[in-house]
Amino acid sequence: MEKNTARPQSFVGTVVKTAMTDTATVRVDRYEKHPKYKKYRTLSKKYLVHNPGNTAQVGDRVTIVAVRPVSKNKSFAIQMAK
């Protein structure tokens, strides 16, 4: 029997807030075409991510990956800063 070797979900975003202990808020932008009007638009979503040691600073470009839930709202962790 083979094991499931799927990669965890990951995004690239910008750190917008680091006021909480071991937590950062990361904004992930995506560029998509509206299905009806065919106009391109930028959509963004904010994720609360685990930031161990408070290493990321506001303005950093980071890669976040899905992990098991750390708290009620945190299910992502910072993998690396760019």
In a domain, 71, yes or no: yes
In a domain, 39, yes or no: yes
Query: Burial, 75: exposed, middle or buried (Cβ in 10 Å; 0-12, 13-18, 19+)?
Result: middle
| Pairing of β 40-50 and β 76-81 | parallel
3-state secondary structure of 6: coil
Instruction: Identify the CATH number of the domain in which residue 43 sits.
Output: 2.40.50.140
Supply 4's token pair: 């499931």
In a domain, 5, yes or no: no
At 1 the pLDDT is 62
Domain count, the chain: 1
In a domain, 61, yes or no: yes
Give pTM, 2 decimals: 0.85
Per-residue pLDDT reduced to its tens digit, 19-67: 999 999 999 999 999 999 999 999 999 999 999 999 999 999 999 999 9
Domain interval for residue 58: 10-81
